[in-house]
Amino acid sequence: MLQIDRKSIASLVEWFRKNQRDLPWRRDPHPYKVWVAEVMSQQTQMNTLLPYFHRFMERFPSVGHLAQSSIEEVFVAWTGLGYYSRARNLHRAAKTVTEDLKGRFPTSFGDWLELSGVGPYTAAAVTSQCFDSPHAVWDGNVLRVASRFFAESQAYSQGFKTAVSRALEKHMSRVPSSQLNQAVMELGALVCTPVKPDCDNCPLRRKCRAFADKNVQLYPPAKIKRREHVVHAVVSVHLKKTADDCFVLLKKRDSGLWYSGMWDFPTELGGVQNPQITLLRLKDKKNDLGTIALKPIKHSITHHRISLLPRVKVEVGLNQPTEDSEVKWFNVEQAFGDRPQIPVATTARKVMRAVSRWLDQVKEKEN
């Protein structure tokens, strides 16, 4: 059974009180704010997250505002954060809180788990910060600190996670869980960092086994990488230019696919066995097809490596309205500007950046 001594816990919490970052949801730990912040912080660095958090709170100041908005509006506010399923779940759970729970957030760990997209991490993070519920959080920061503190080589095992969580929870009858959970995570973010941890200024160094053994770099052990699955796709970029504007044809993505419900270029998945050959073929036939093929663009989603081959067609003149409501022309600024007005897939934004660079080069050559 793993144990953490009282003195280490006291030093850690004391360190947190003095060194914690001033974050908006710490000043006012309302469940709505803490929940949104925790969902955003998964896979996102704090510096990147903060402007998104402020904009999100401005746009949806309460769970009721979020529930009453359309999923498209939520996606627009989420644009750039990626992992859009998190935004979809947030929206679904906001509806549950507003409609089924009359706007009252659950207070217990178990009831939070009932909400869409809420797993043990989010439930523990929100209920400990807002209600001091005695549940330890487990994320990448906690895992790193714990694996070093105990010099544990099986840091990714369920057994280690359970043992560390129990060891932390034992102290939660004396020390507020809001403080203890945040203290471990903050230590992982600021001191016990993945590279060059600042052990000399760490409140846990007195009992840290990896530090005592002078082999901190061995923990946590490197993760075995999952095999990547390569996906090829041809992306059709159709632009219409007038003297003042540029329009682009986009298609709403089907459900069950990545970025479902968001706008994207019409994309043919899996049609390219060898992108280099396809690239040459498309270049050869550019006059017939009226298209230009750009270099493939890489994008990763979980363990999928996607290679997107943009096929660009630029025409001059006004666009005609389409008959299909799922395929529409949009002003490029409206879709891809700094303040987009429609939810656009991350892959489409990447492709559009490459197309814009190419258009600039063409313009330069013409001048």
Positions annotated as catalytic residues are: 38
Q: Which residue do the tokens 């992982």 mark?
A: 188
Comparing CB distances to ligand SF4, the nearer of 191 and 335 is: 191
Regarding 204 and contact with ligand SF4 (CB under 6 A), the answer is yes
DSSP for 83-128?
Answer: -HHHHHHHHHHHHIIIIISTTPPP-SHHHHHTSTT--HHHHHHHHH
Per DSSP, what are the bridge partners of residue 230? Answer: 305
Regarding 208 and contact with ligand SF4 (CB under 6 A), the answer is yes
Regarding 238 and contact with ligand SF4 (CB under 6 A), the answer is no
The piece of 5-13, 77-85, 123-131, 190-198 that touches ligand SF4 (CB under 6 A) is 190-198
Q: Which residue do the tokens 């750009």 mark?
A: 294
Comparing CB distances to ligand SF4, the nearer of 107 and 193 is: 193
Half-sphere exposure of 315 (CA within 13 A, CB side): 14
For the bound state, the minimum distance from the C-beta of residue 136 to ligand SF4, rounded and expressed in Å, comes to 16
d(CA 265, CA 249): 7
Comparing CB distances to ligand SF4, the nearer of 10 and 199 is: 199
Strand blocks (E) in 144-187:
none
For the bound state, the minimum distance from the C-beta of residue 228 to ligand SF4, rounded and expressed in Å, comes to 31
Helix (H, G, I), strand (E, B) or coil at 4: coil
**How many residues of this chain bind ligand SF4 (CB under 6 A)?**
14
Helix (H, G, I), strand (E, B) or coil at 307: strand
For the bound state, the minimum distance from the C-beta of residue 46 to ligand SF4, rounded and expressed in Å, comes to 18
d(CA 315, CA 289): 12
For the bound state, the minimum distance from the C-beta of residue 191 to ligand SF4, rounded and expressed in Å, comes to 5
Among the listed residues 57, 87, 145, 282, the single contact to ligand SF4 using CB under 6 A? 145
The footprint of ligand SF4 (CB under 6 A) covers: 145, 148-149, 191-192, 197, 199, 202, 204-205, 208, 210-211, 216
